[in-house]
Amino acid sequence: MVKKTITIVDVAEKAGVSKTTISRYLNGKYEFMSQESRERIAKVIEEMGYRPNNLARGLKSKRSRLIGVLVSDIGSPFSSILLKGIGDCCERYGYGVLITNSNDNPKKERDYILSMIDQRVEGLIINTTGQNDEFLQQVVKNGVPIVLADRPMEEHIFDTVRTADEAITMDVMRHLKERGFKKVGWFSQVVNNETRKLRSAAYREACHAIMSIDPQEYVLDDKDPKQVEDQIRSFIEANGKEKKAIYTGNGVATLHVVKALQRMKLRFPQDLGLCGFNNWDWTELVGGGITVVSQPSYRVGHECVKRIMARIHRNRHAKAKLIELECKLIIRSST
């Protein structure tokens, strides 16, 4: 037994005003009604338990009050915290959040973006695969603003919120140098997005600038534990008796390296220093704690929303802005 839905007309009738006035009330345009009407409407809405239909509102006004979010891997802690930041901030603006997960698949990225546009999201926050440059430009051209979260594009044509990975990498190297490490190897997965490219470049830059050593980069295959061990062995063999440290490109890389190290019965920092990106919960627990770069993921989400709201409500045609948030180095016993 589904009750007939209460519409703006029912409210208008009961309050003894026209539906226009109710609409004005709903949109906070109180200057167009008497104090008395305003109070009466409030009372009637409360009594009837009326809730406006956002589909109807959006259809007419072109404002769905929805933001679309596309993450590349909803399972990662980074995404969780990012989403939390986005959700909390959207709430303050009265916006809902439509969330999709591309699994780092460019085709899915396009499909999901289109289907979010079908829902008339007013803006998109995207943790992009980096393979849909032109497509995204087209989306913006069609009037849906985009903010890139965490992963920039090579060409800087979209609003972007990211973390200052370069600066913190300098700090990491400085720290490693202080602790007496002579060789530092970069361990990360294949470079298939801009973030990885920039982090690896930052590592190389820091090798020269801080430690005056040659960069040594090792590509990890997440799916192949043996391969990870092999890479670690290569690194060790290539550097003889020097004091060595591994610097990983992200939390997943850290995870695989730690697993490999455990299988190889190698301890850190005794046998090898270890540090990396992403301050995940467990990095504190493993082997007395791993030194990590902590990213302000929550704030990234926050800033994304603020930026998209500014674009929607203030200057739709402002030029692309880059927002960089500082990271923190958390030193633990692994280095």
Q: Using CB under 8 A as the criterion, which residues of the chain lie in contact with a copy of itself when the complex forms?
A: 1-3, 51-56, 58-59, 64, 66, 74-77, 79-81, 83-84, 87-88, 96-101, 114-120, 141-143, 255, 258-259, 262, 280-282, 284-286, 288
CA atoms lying within 13 Å on the CB side of residue 148: 29
C-beta closer to DNA: residue 31 or 281: 31
C-beta closer to a copy of itself: residue 129 or 216: 129
- Are 323 and 303 in contact by the 8 Å Cβ rule? The answer is yes
**Judged by CB under 7 A, does residue 5 bind DNA?**
yes
Residues 152, 157: Cα–Cα separation, whole Å: 9
**Judged by CB under 7 A, does residue 7 bind DNA?**
yes
**Judged by CB under 7 A, does residue 33 bind DNA?**
yes
**Minimal distance in Å, beta carbon 168 to DNA?**
45
C-beta closer to DNA: residue 36 or 155: 36
Residue 74 binding result from a copy of itself, DNA, none, given CB thresholds of 5 to 8 Å by partner type? a copy of itself
**Minimal distance in Å, beta carbon 154 to a copy of itself?**
25
Residue 32 binding result from DNA, a copy of itself, none, given CB thresholds of 5 to 8 Å by partner type? DNA
**Judged by CB under 7 A, does residue 42 bind DNA?**
no
C-beta closer to a copy of itself: residue 23 or 80: 80
**Minimal distance in Å, beta carbon 309 to DNA?**
17
**Interface positions with DNA (CB under 7 A):** 5, 7-9, 16-24, 26-27, 31-34, 36-37, 52-53, 56-57, 59-61
